[in-house]
Every structure is written in C-alpha cells, then in structure tokens.
C-alpha cells in the first residue's frame, strides 16, 4: 500500500483527506503540531474508516524529526496542508506567518529531496489572485496577493516552480482552493476554528447553534445581485477528491502544475444565510456593516482546466454543503471539545 505523508493531517481539510486516502487504498501518515487542531481527530478518523492513522506530533520546521520519519517510512508522495491560514492574523503577525509557512515548506522540501521523494500536492489558495480583474478566474489570471498569508502561498508556489525547473524529477500539483465548506457526512469531523471563525459558513453555523449572536455582513453596496460579496464555496469532499486526482495526475506528469479547485458558481452572503436557514430550520440574525478593507465584490473559479486535466469537477450543490455543515455543527455544537 502506498504511504502518503499528510502534513497538517489533523486539521480541517487534512482530516477529510486522510479519510479519502484510506478509501482510495493509500496508507496516510499524519504529521501535525496540533497548533490549530485536536488529537481527538485521530480517534474520529478511526471511527469513520476503521483504521488508525500513524500520527506524529511535531512541527514541520523540525528537520531532524522529519528526517527520522522519512527514514522509518517509504513515503511515496506528500500532501502539504500544514500552515497558518487566517488572513487578518497574517496582517497583524507577518513574521509568524512567514516563519511558519515558509520555513515549514522549505524544511519539508529539503527532507523530501534528501530522501528522493519528489511527488507533492500543495494547498495553495485563490487568495493569490487578489482582487480579480475578471471572473470566472482562470489559472492564467494575474497574481496580486494582498496580504502576508496570500503572499506566503505565492512564494511557496514559486519555490516549487524553481525546484521543478532545477530538478526535473519533481512532480508537483499546486491546488488553488476557493472557499472550502461543509463536513464529512458522518458528522464526526469538520471545521473547528480556534476563536471566532474567519470564514462565513462556520460563523453562520455558530450563530445557528447559539454560540454567537448574529452574523455581520460586511458591505451591502457591492455591484452584485443583492449588494453583498459573492464567493465560490466548495464542499470539502469535492476538494479532497481533487487531491486524490492530483496524486494520480502527478504520477505521470513531471513538472509543476496549477489547478483551480472551485465550483465555478458564486453565492452571495445573503444567499448563503438563506440556504443555511432552509437546511437547518434555524433563523439567522444578521447586521449590515460597512465594507472591510481588502474584500472584493466577486470571486469565483474557472475550474475547466481541472475538469480536462484532472478529470475532476465538484459534485455537491449548495443544499448538500449546508446539510453536511449543519450536521457537523449541530452534533458538535462546541466543536471537538
């Protein structure tokens, strides 16, 4: 069975990917420092899959431990999720973000190269596009990341591009995610942010279970259907399937490949609130507030390259996203606690 190292595998997207890797016949191995996740996730993965993933708790920047891990296991490929991801926090603490995201990535790539492991799938982000010049956004769109988090993603993309030019044995997939939402249908794993959620749907869902009073809607005067911001939300199960497809793709395609992972459909904040209310049967109070600096009106993917090259496309609609997100949140109102 092929062993796949999943960095950040105890996190939101990582844990769902570990489940999908088992289903696809791989043996996932997790490394996570638990800075934004909880060890109980490993038990939940076992409950879902009947298999307990091998789990190492350490920071990716610890090259010696990483080296030991690669000596102990015959790693076929790596899926690299580990990193810090809150845009606002990255503006306040750029050094911490660059240190964690860039040093973590460099440490990983260095050890991979040492052990001749050259296959990698990297979690990039649609935030590398910044304020898009047009929608839908193709992979060829201009890149103008507007904050340290997005710049750290773009820098890692560039490291990997350089690596593939210098060493043709590398096969790298850069997946640019749009807005992952929802959860595994078991209700056992899902997104459990530390502190107030940075993303819309986790915030709405926490209002739904009474953990927060109301949703702040930042800006109702954008040039969109109802004046509120429009984004491309993608079910986490569709997102993780793109990783399985990317693993298959890079097996035969050396070099550095970039793919958007989005549905190609945009929903406004008010449409998201309305869809959540239908799925949950819970009324969500909201308040209109002024625009936030740096927010864009509309952002959604052109996913056609992923369709043709990876044979991947999103299959879950908005109702399924809401249903699965609500199941997770209502069955775990306080998260993993």
Residue span binding ligand NAD (CB under 6 A) among the ranges 29-37, 205-213, 313-321, 328-336: 29-37
d(CA 290, CA 292): 7
Bridge-based pairing of strands 230-231 and 267-268 is antiparallel
Q: Is 180 in the site for ligand NAD (CB under 6 A)?
A: yes
Query: Are the C-beta atoms of 9 and 31 separated by less than 8 Å?
Result: yes
Q: Which residue, 263 or 281, is less far from ligand NAD as judged by CB?
A: 263
Which residue number is nearest to ligand NAD in terms of Cβ? Answer: 11
**What DSSP element (H or E) covers 41?**
helix 40-49
Q: Binder to ligand NAD among 28, 37, 135, 241 (CB under 6 A)? A: 37
d(CA 293, CA 282): 30
Task: Give the nearest distance from C-beta 171 to ligand NAD in angstroms.
Answer: 20
Planar angle of CA 40, 190, 313, nearest 5 degrees: 135
Q: Is 277 in the site for ligand NAD (CB under 6 A)?
A: no
Q: Which residue, 36 or 171, is less far from ligand NAD as judged by CB?
A: 36
85, 89, 216, 220: CA torsion to nearest 10: -80
Catalytic residues: 149
Q: What is the number of alpha carbons within 13 Å of residue 170 lying toward its C-beta?
A: 24
Residues 195-234, mask of contacts with ligand NAD (x by CB under 6 A): ----x-----------------------------------
Residues 81-110, mask of contacts with ligand NAD (x by CB under 6 A): xxxxx--------------x---x------
Q: Is 262 in the site for ligand NAD (CB under 6 A)?
A: no
Q: Which residue, 100 or 273, is less far from ligand NAD as judged by CB?
A: 100
Beta bridge partners of 4: 28, 77
d(CA 89, CA 38): 20
Q: Binder to ligand NAD among 125, 263, 298, 332 (CB under 6 A)? A: 125
Residue span binding ligand NAD (CB under 6 A) among the ranges 76-84, 139-147, 271-279, 310-318: 76-84
Q: Is 10 in the site for ligand NAD (CB under 6 A)?
A: yes
Q: Is 36 in the site for ligand NAD (CB under 6 A)?
A: yes
Q: Binder to ligand NAD among 34, 113, 248, 320 (CB under 6 A)? A: 34
Question: How many residues touch ligand NAD (CB under 6 A)?
Answer: 28
CB atoms inside a 10 Å sphere around CB 50: 8
DSSP state string for 272-302:
HHHHHHHHH-----EEEEPPPTT--SEE-B-
Cis peptide before 136 (omega within 30 of 0): yes
Residue span binding ligand NAD (CB under 6 A) among the ranges 10-18, 48-56, 137-145, 264-272: 10-18
Taking every pair of C-alpha atoms in the chain, what is the biggest distance, in angstroms? Answer: 56
Structure tokens at 278: 């239908």
Q: Binder to ligand NAD among 13, 204, 250, 310 (CB under 6 A)? A: 13
Question: How far from 229 is each of 121, 125, 142, 202, CA to CA, in Å?
Answer: 30, 18, 21, 16
- Torsions phi, psi of 300, nearest 5? -150, 155
Q: Is 137 in the site for ligand NAD (CB under 6 A)?
A: no
Q: Which residue, 62 or 76, is less far from ligand NAD as judged by CB?
A: 62
Residue 324: DSSP 8-state: H
Q: Which residue, 60 or 250, is less far from ligand NAD as judged by CB?
A: 60
Q: Is 32 in the site for ligand NAD (CB under 6 A)?
A: yes
Which residues contact ligand NAD by CB under 6 A? 8, 10-14, 32-37, 59-61, 81-85, 100, 104, 123, 125, 177, 179-180, 199
């Amino acid at each position: 069975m092929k062993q796949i190292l999943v960095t950040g595998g105890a996190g939101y997207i990582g844990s769902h990917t570990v489940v999908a890797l088992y289903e696809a016949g791989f043996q996932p191995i997790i490394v996570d420092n638990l800075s934004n996740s909880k060890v109980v996730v490993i038990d939940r993965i076992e409950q879902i899959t009947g298999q307990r993933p091998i789990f190492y708790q350490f920071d990716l920047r610890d090259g010696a431990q990483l080296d030991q891990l690669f000596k102990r296991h015959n790693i076929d490929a790596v899926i690299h999720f580990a990193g810090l991801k809150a845009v606002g926090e990255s503006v306040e603490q750029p050094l911490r973000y660059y240190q964690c995201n860039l040093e973590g990535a460099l440490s990983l790539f260095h050890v991979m190269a040492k052990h001749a492991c050259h296959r990698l799938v990297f979690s990039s982000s649609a935030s590398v596009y910044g304020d898009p010049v047009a929608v839908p956004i193709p992979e060829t769109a201009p890149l103008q990341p507007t904050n340290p988090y997005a710049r750290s993603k773009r820098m890692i993309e560039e490291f990997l591009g350089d690596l593939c030019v210098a060493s043709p044995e590398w096969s790298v997939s850069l997946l640019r995610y749009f807005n992952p939402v929802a959860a595994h249908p078991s209700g056992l794993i899902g997104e459990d942010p530390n502190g107030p959620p940075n993303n819309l749907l986790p915030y709405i869902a926490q209002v739904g279970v009474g953990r927060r009073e109301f949703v702040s809607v930042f800006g109702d005067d954008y040039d969109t259907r109802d004046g509120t911001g429009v984004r491309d939300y993608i079910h986490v199960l569709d997102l993780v399937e793109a990783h399985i497809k990317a693993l298959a793709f890079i097996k035969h395609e050396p070099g550095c490949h970039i793919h958007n992972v989005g549905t190609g459909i945009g929903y406004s904040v008010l449409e998201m609130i309305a869809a959540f209310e239908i799925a949950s049967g819970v009324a969500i109070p909201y308040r209109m507030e002024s625009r936030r600096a740096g927010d864009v009106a509309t952002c959604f993917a052109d996913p056609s390259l992923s369709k043709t090259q990876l044979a991947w496309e999103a299959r879950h609609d908005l109702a399924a996203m809401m249903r699965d997100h609500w199941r997770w949140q209502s069955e775990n109102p306080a998260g993993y606690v």
